Structure formats: C-alpha cells, structure tokens
Structure 1
Amino acid sequence: MAPETTASSVERFDAVDVIRAKRDGGRLSDDQIDWVIDAYTRGVVAERQMAALAMAIFLNGMDRDEIVRWTDAMIASGERLDFSSALSRPTTDKHSTGGVGDKITLPLAPLVASFGVAVPQLSGRGLGHTGGTLDKLESIPGWRADLSNDEMIAQLESVGAVVCAAGSGLAPADKKLYALRDVTGTVEAIPLIASSIMSKKIAEGTASLVLDVKTGAGAFMSDEADARELARTMVDLGTDAGVRTVALLTDMSAPLGLTVGNALEVRESLEVLAGGGPADVVELTVALAREMLAAAGRTDADVEEALRDGRAMDTWRAMISAQGGDPDAPLPEAAHTLEVRAEAAGRVTGLDAMQVGVAGWRLGAGRSRPGEAVQAGAGVELRRTIGDTVSAGDVLAVLHTDTPERFDRSVEAIDGAWSIEADAPAAERRIVLDRIA
C-alpha cells in the first residue's frame, strides 16, 4: 500500500519553475512570490536556488505590483509592530541608505522627539566603508543596543526617541536574503533593496517615514538616476502600505561633516545638539527634522530653536541614559594619530567620500565581515573640506587608530582624495538635491 500523501507535505510550486519564470523575463504571480519567500524562510528553497532567483531579478527587474507583493511577503515572514495603540505620541521614522560620516540619526532622533513625537530608530551596524549607527553609539560607556519590544515602547512613551537593534522577529526573510545578496553580487538590485528596507520599516509600525537616499562617490547608489529610481520605488511602497512616505535625495560625493569614525562622530553630533557643528550636518539634520515633524502633524515646529535652547540635548541625554549609557562619560580616544598634509596650495574643489571611508575602515573604524570588532576611537578627522583654502604643508586630516601598523594602508586609501585647484572660485555644495513624494 502506498504511503498517504498529506496536503502539508506537498509544496504548491517548484523553485526551479519560479526561477525559470523570472530568468525568462516573466512576471511572478502573487502566489509564486508568497510561496517562494515563505519556502525560503522555512528552508524548503535552498540557498543556491534563491541565489539564482535573486540574480534573475537583478537582471530582469520587477514591476511595481511584483515589488509590492514581494515586500508584503517579507513582512508576513515575521511579526508586525503597532505603536498606534501603545503610544500617546504620533510616530515618525527616518531611514538613510548610508554613507561616509552619516551621523545624522544621532542628533536627529532627539531633536524630533523634543517636539512630542515618538521616533523609533531601528538601526544596524556598519560593514565596509559605511559606518553603522549602533557602532557609533556603542562607543558611549554603558550604552546598549538590544532592547525588548516592551522596553522600546516604554522608552518611546517616556523619552520619545529610541535607537536600538532591530529584533529578529521583524522580516526574518529579509535578514536571510540580505546575507545571501551580499555574497552573490545582487546587492544593487533595486527591487530587492527597496523591499528589504521597506519590509522592515512597514513591519516596524511607524505612521510616517522620511527616506534619506544618498548619491555620489561614497553612497550605496553612486549614480543619481539609480538613486532617484530607488527613492521613487520606496516612496511608492510606503504609500501603498498606508505609511506617509517622502524621500530626500542627498549628496554623498564628499563625507558629511568633518569626522568619520565611531566616537569621533558622536563627538561631532554633540556639537550639533549644542547649537554648533558643521554646516552640512546641521543643514541635513534640520531638513529631515522638518519633513519628519510635518509628517507627524507638527508643521509649526522651530527645529533650529530646539538646537539652540538645549531641548534637543536634554532629550539626547535622556535617550542615552534610558539605554544604560553615561552621557557625561568621556568618549574613547585612539592611542595613535598621524597627520596627512597638503602638497600644494589652492582651494579644495572635491573630496572623495569613498576614499575617506575606506581610510577610516582600514584604521579600524569599520569591519570587513559581520561580527568583527571595531575600534571606538578609530577614524578620520578632516581639517580641510570642500571650499576651504589650503597652503602647502597644511594638515588635511588626522588619522586615529589604536594599531599604528594600520596607518600605511589608510594613507594609501586616502592619498589623492582632495582635489585642490590653485585659482578655483569658492563654490557651494548642495546637500539636498531633490524631494520625492
């Protein structure tokens, strides 16, 4: 007698058929998408099969309906938070596609929260030349990134801002697929980037979202047309899911601010919260804060005044303390420094963000593989940036590390990063290039 076949033991689709459909330029059906994400999460679809499908998507793309359904399936793979019933404050969130010196979350979250808005920033760690927000904050003695959902909600209600690690329950299919994309050359697929970011943000349960999509040498999407397409795709995904979503297209041709590295960037963020700081960091922080507050219904908020009068700093201190950090503790400093000097005089007309980011990474500020330790005090302190005049012999940057044997490769990376022209006129750098809604 043949064994009985139960419905639960029979899969609805075959992975090879799904791969072929997209390989041949076809459109995946809703049922195929739901199945392949669920089956991959369960381990029924093998890693090599999902790798083949990811490459087919990279090469042939997805239409809007496919991307929406793929995102929904990623969300359905895990839990979904709902802040509306747990908080008395409206919620708004920000996501950046990442860049060199991008410390904006640090002053931005407490600034927005100082107006009575809840800001749940579920952040990540750095890999390669881009820094991670959690790595920066972990340079503060005692601060912890891992919070339970109950702890996160309690802090949002009492303080208004929380920056913490995303729980494993949010979009687990994305965590698995992201790691696969990283080793199969499919990271840059716009449908997969957009669904990865937006599945987590929608599952997080925020009512509104502002996206900071960067373009330029130091950005994930260096080509402006690609960055614009990514921004448009993510705004559409958020809108379709009922989340008020807007994107700012911003410049990452040069680093943001004058520091690249964990404790160095915290120190610069504190300058912004104290009413100072580099003009580009302040400009972008203020622009994103206005968008977030408008989305949360606070259209008359004076964000510059909140930086000047100390309200944002007070919220920062409360946020850090609530997560076990000591806001008064000295920040770590690297044991060794090295100056990089100009060989010629003139005006700085360009500063390659990628080269600066790689230099910081090689000093120990970043990691080359997940889980690798980073140095809290390592990084690059810029002394000259775009628009500045220099004389031969002036210090362009100071390199910081605990391991001086790293200096040679860091200098190699940053060599030639500054474009210096003898008779160049002063020029303004545009940080916010466009708004996409």
Structure 2
Amino acid sequence: MSALEPFSAVEIIAAKRDKAVLTNPQIDWVIDAYTRGAVADEQMSALLMAILLNGMNSQEISRWTNAMINSGEKMNWSMLDRPTVDKHSTGGVGDKITLPLAPLVAACGAAVPQLSGRGLGHTGGTLDKLEAIAGWQASLSNEKMLQVLQECGAVICAAGAGLAPADKKLYALRDVTATVEAIPLIASSIMSKKIAEGTSALVLDVKTGSGAFMSDPLKARELAQTMVGLGKDAGVKTLALVTAMDVPLGLTAGNALEVRESLEVLAGGGPADVVELTIIFAREMLELVGIKGKDPERALKDGSAMDVWRKMISAQGGNPDAPLPVAKEKLTISADASGTVLSMDAMSVGVAAWRLGAGRSRQGESVQSGAGIEIHKKPGEKIVAGEPLYTLHTDTPERFARAQEVLEGSVAIGSTDVKRLPLIVERIN
C-alpha cells in the first residue's frame, strides 16, 4: 500500500468477501482509486463479485452511488424557465417509449433532459434507434444540450464523458465479469447517472417478464424500491412503475422500425400498448413536477407533441422528413396452426432482432438501422394457419437462419385463455 493511500484494495475485497459492511471512507476511496487507476481491474472484479454474492445494505448502496456521482461533474438546469423531469427504462424488447414520451411531456410544459444509452444484447438502445434518422447527432456538449432544452423543451442524447466516469469503467467491467445482475450495482449505475444529470424529478420504468433484465417480478420490485430510495435520498422526486415485458411492446423490434412506430404514435395512431404506456408515463411525469391541466392524450391527437419532435430532431442535426432506412431483405414467418395467439416470448423476439443485425454483442460494434422484426399478431388475437406472424428484416440474408432458430416455439396458438402480465404490474413511490 502506498504511503499516500489510506486503504488497500485487498482489505476492502476481504471485508466484503467476509460479509462485512463497508464503511463510508472505504467506499469513497475504492471508487475514487478505481476511477484514477490506483485499483486494478482484477481487484475491482473481485470486489464486484463479492458484492454480487453478499449484497449491500441501503447505506452502502447510497454511499456507493454518491461516490460514483462525485467521480465527475453534476449538471444544473436551474436557469430553465420550467421544471425538469426524466424517465429511465431498464430496457426491453420493442421498448420505444422514450421516443414519443420526451416530446409529449415537453409539449405539456416540462423540460425533459433525457440522457440515453446504446443497446447491448437483446435490448435495444434509444440512441441506436434515433441514429436511424439521417444527420441526427447523439453526442452534444453541455452548452448544446441546454440550448436544445431551452428551444424545444426536450433533448435525447448520450451522457457526456464527464458524467459519473466511475460508472462507465464499472459498467464495462461488470459486463465481462458476470456481475451485471447484482441489484446494488444496477441501482447505483442507473441512479448515479440520473442524479448527476441534474433532473428535479424522475420516473423509473422497471421491466419484468421474459424479455426483461429482471424477469422475476419480486426482483423487479426490489430493484424499483432500491432506486426510488436512492433518488429520494438525493433530493430527486422519484417514483417507479414495474411494467410488463413478457410480450414485446408494440409491433416492432429494431431501430428504424421502432422510429417508424413512434412516429405513428406521435401522429395520433400506433399500437394500443405503446400509446397507453406513453400516456401513463407522461401523466406520472407531469404530476411529479406539479403541472396540472395539461392532457397528454390531447397533445398526441392535436399534433403538438409531433411539433416538438420535429423541432428536437432538427436541433440535433437530424432531418425529420428524411426517409428511414429499410433493410435490403425480408422474410415472412407464417403461423402453423389456427386459433388464438396465447403467448409470445419477448426474449426470443429480442434475440432474433439482435441476430438479424439490430443489436450488438459487444460495445462499439455497429448496428444495421433497418434490421429487426415486425409482429403481425399479438396475444389475444385470432390467427389462421398460413397467415403472417412475423416479418424479419436484415441487410445480410445469411442471418435469417439463426433468427428463425430462436423464434421456433416463441408463440403458442390454441383455444384456452390468454395469460398475460398486466401492463402496469406495480407502482412504487
């Protein structure tokens, strides 16, 4: 141990290995030392595994989150003339809610500084979806973010390098050390970025079901409660909705396909589940910041949300009128029986879209904007043998076989009752 360092990584790893509670100074030091390179990746890997196996109490999680926030800059929107509110989703299949939601909430009078991420594995990333729009820029300076927020009321962009840099390093390490699933680490990762982003209020969308990160509703509830607690500790008005991800959201999974569907919602149409969830979240966000008398449903119907969308896309260099990319090849999969669609496994659809080129298997890989899946029938709908069930889209037809393989058995057709999670499983505040 260097004379200048107050702790050694080894003693902190041993403490957590032996189920001890880490002290505030130990947590502050280990996050800071790892960020500046004084703690090695293999040492932090061992600590992350000890946390995964032995957990953390609420005080440890809170301090860990604060240490990650303090590793970088904090944003401040106090100069805006309206309250700020953001929404974060833990990710799912066909989850394009952020796209229509941010302009919708802005059209109703709040400011939405939406820092979003890229997809990894079977869950799509908001930034990848928006990059299907010609010219649109994900990376903005803090000054540009403020300018877009002031002019449009909403901005969707990548978090800058200065925001919770400890989380960036830890996130990459968790991904390659099988420690992604640890609830203390998920909660602190999400909340450190959201609190550093400077929003005054936050609504969390914690997905549960086969296509979600937290497939078990009890685990989803634990994660939601942990994150709500962290937000409130930091003075951010926070609530969470646990929502269904047993079936894909909407009728598309894939970047340009989901943008097209989001535009249908902004134009007053779109699939019922996407519209319903968008309006529910808009109402929760407006209520959290005390905006009354604005009806999000009307703002979708009267075109005011679409106006904000067009302005926001243009302000970030995008052309809202440019045609969206279309994949070079498509293949239809038809139903092999007649009856009612009883279930559709969200995870299978997500993995198939990823195999078609819509997602990436490691950070930094490029994605195909036009790749993905269109869904023609959802659970509860009738289908006749030979009718289309899915249409697969890709630029590389050799990908079709592996996507079809994972879709085998993804749908059950029969005549019994449809068993589905309710769209909103639980509300936690």
Which bracket does the TM-score occupy, shorter chain normalised?
A: over 0.9
Alignment of 1:9-48 (within 5 A): 10-48=4-42
TM-score (norm 2): 0.99
Structure 1 residues 427 and 185 mapped into 2: Cα distance closer, same or farther (>3 Å)?
closer
- Residue 413 of structure 1, CA deviation: 1.0
CA distance in 2 between partners of 1:419 and 1:389 (Å): 12
Number of equivalent positions = 429
- Residue 232 of structure 1, CA deviation: 0.1
Alignment of 1:144-223 (within 5 A): 144-223=137-216
Please tell me whether residue 255 in structure 1 is matched to residue 248 in structure 2. Answer: yes
CA distance in 2 between partners of 1:286 and 1:386 (Å): 22
Alignment of 1:207-246 (within 5 A): 207-246=200-239
Please tell me whether residue 362 in structure 1 is matched to residue 388 in structure 2. Answer: no
Letter in 1 for 2:318: G
Which SS does the other structure have where 2:30 is aligned? helix
Please tell me whether residue 305 in structure 1 is matched to residue 298 in structure 2. Answer: yes
- Residue 427 of structure 1, CA deviation: 6.5
Letter in 1 for 2:68: M
CA distance in 1 between partners of 2:418 and 2:348 (Å): 23
- Residue 424 of structure 1, CA deviation: 2.3
- Residue 428 of structure 1, CA deviation: 6.8
Query: 2:339, 2:382 within 8 Å by CA — same for their partners in 1?
Result: yes
Alignment of 1:344-355 (within 5 A): 344-355=337-348
Query: 1:67, 1:191 within 8 Å by CA — same for their partners in 2?
Result: yes
Which SS does the other structure have where 2:413 is aligned? strand
Aligned to 1:117: 110
2:68 to 64, 74, 98: 74
Which SS does the other structure have where 2:7 is aligned? coil
CA distance in 1 between partners of 2:193 and 2:423 (Å): 27
- Residue 260 of structure 1, CA deviation: 0.3
1:51 to 39, 45, 53: 45
- Residue 403 of structure 1, CA deviation: 0.6
Letter in 2 for 1:306: A
Please tell me whether residue 399 in structure 1 is matched to residue 392 in structure 2. Answer: yes
Gaps of 5+ in 1: none
CA distance in 1 between partners of 2:376 and 2:420 (Å): 18
CA distance in 1 between partners of 2:54 and 2:361 (Å): 30
Alignment of 1:367-386 (within 5 A): 367-386=360-379
Which SS does the other structure have where 1:226 is aligned? helix
Which SS does the other structure have where 2:61 is aligned? helix
Q: List structure 1 segments (4+ residues) > 6 angstroms apart after TM superposition.
A: none
Query: 1:346, 1:424 within 8 Å by CA — same for their partners in 2?
Result: no
Structure 1 residues 347 and 34 mapped into 2: Cα distance closer, same or farther (>3 Å)?
same
CA distance in 2 between partners of 1:426 and 1:38 (Å): 51
CA distance in 1 between partners of 2:270 and 2:287 (Å): 24
CA distance in 2 between partners of 1:436 and 1:328 (Å): 39
CA distance in 1 between partners of 2:55 and 2:31 (Å): 17
Which SS does the other structure have where 2:147 is aligned? helix
1:127 to 111, 114, 120: 120
CA distance in 1 between partners of 2:419 and 2:303 (Å): 32
Aligned to 2:99: 106
Which SS does the other structure have where 2:370 is aligned? coil
CA distance in 2 between partners of 1:106 and 1:419 (Å): 30
Which SS does the other structure have where 1:213 is aligned? strand
Aligned to 1:266: 259
- Residue 419 of structure 1, CA deviation: 1.1
- Residue 300 of structure 1, CA deviation: 2.4
Please tell me whether residue 83 in structure 1 is matched to residue 77 in structure 2. Answer: yes
Query: 1:89, 1:157 within 8 Å by CA — same for their partners in 2?
Result: no
2:427 to 399, 416, 435: 435
Query: 1:274, 1:307 within 8 Å by CA — same for their partners in 2?
Result: yes
Which SS does the other structure have where 1:280 is aligned? helix
What is the alpha-carbon root mean square deviation over aligned residues?
A: 1.2
CA distance in 1 between partners of 2:13 and 2:244 (Å): 37
CA distance in 2 between partners of 1:229 and 1:300 (Å): 33
Please tell me whether residue 140 in structure 1 is matched to residue 133 in structure 2. Answer: yes
- Residue 356 of structure 1, CA deviation: 0.2
Structure 1 residues 139 and 12 mapped into 2: Cα distance closer, same or farther (>3 Å)?
same
CA distance in 1 between partners of 2:365 and 2:238 (Å): 34
Which SS does the other structure have where 1:21 is aligned? helix
Please tell me whether residue 62 in structure 1 is matched to residue 53 in structure 2. Answer: no
Query: 1:254, 1:352 within 8 Å by CA — same for their partners in 2?
Result: yes
- Residue 342 of structure 1, CA deviation: 0.6
Which SS does the other structure have where 2:173 is aligned? helix
Query: 1:364, 1:379 within 8 Å by CA — same for their partners in 2?
Result: yes
Percent of aligned pairs with the same amino acid = 68
- Residue 301 of structure 1, CA deviation: 1.9
